[in-house]
């Protein structure tokens, strides 16, 4: 009987510890969300647009950029530069915390470089070797997202920068 009581006590203790751990994790997540919410209200309008541009950026990552018709069905081609778009989103989000000329130049260079390659790939015929193929909405979104980042980075620096 003593072994059963020790086993039940141990299980009860583990359940309490797991519950405390879950409570701690939930509190940390809530604190992080609160911090993001407060930071969102602190930044200027252009930085808010940059922050909210994360949503179309993730759509640009997951949507196909082209499709081709073969064997009575459409096959979709994913964005070959999606990994770089993820990096751009992380950099643009992180740059909200560090205003200044260096961040402005980095934003322009990173988005300009991505924009160059996303436009170059279909012009060079490197997006897909399947012919004929058609460009889908995801491709145009991959052009619009860095353009929005580019334009609103400039607006944020030139109109809202506190020098």
Whether the CB-CB separation of 51 and 93 falls below 8 Å is answered with yes
Model confidence pTM above 0.85: no
* Other beta carbons less than 10 A from residue 73's beta carbon: 7
**HSE value, Cβ hemisphere, 13 Å, CA-based, for 55:** 3
CA triplet 122, 128, 131: central angle to 5 degrees? 100
pLDDT per residue as tens, the chain (163 positions): 688 888 888 898 999 999 999 999 999 999 999 988 888 788 788 888 888 888 998 888 888 877 777 887 877 777 777 788 888 888 888 888 777 788 889 889 999 898 988 888 778 777 676 678 787 788 898 889 999 988 988 888 888 776 5
């Amino acid at each position: 009987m003593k072994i059963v009581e020790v086993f039940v006590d141990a299980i009860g203790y583990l359940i309490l510890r797991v519950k405390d751990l879950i409570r701690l994790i939930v509190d940390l997540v809530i604190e992080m969300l609160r911090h993001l919410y407060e930071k969102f209200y602190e930044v200027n309008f252009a930085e808010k647009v940059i922050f909210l541009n994360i949503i179309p950026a993730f759509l640009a990552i997951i949507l196909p950029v082209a499709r081709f018709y073969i064997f009575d069905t459409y096959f979709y081609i994913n964005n070959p530069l999606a990994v770089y778009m993820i990096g751009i989103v992380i950099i643009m989000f992180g740059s909200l915390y560090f205003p200044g000329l260096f961040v402005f130049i980095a934003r322009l260079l990173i988005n300009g470089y991505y924009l160059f390659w996303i436009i170059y790939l279909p012009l060079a015929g490197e997006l897909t070797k399947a012919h004929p193929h058609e460009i889908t909405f995801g491709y145009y979104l991959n052009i619009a997202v860095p353009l929005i980042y580019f334009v609103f980075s400039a607006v944020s620096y030139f109109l809202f920068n506190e020098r």
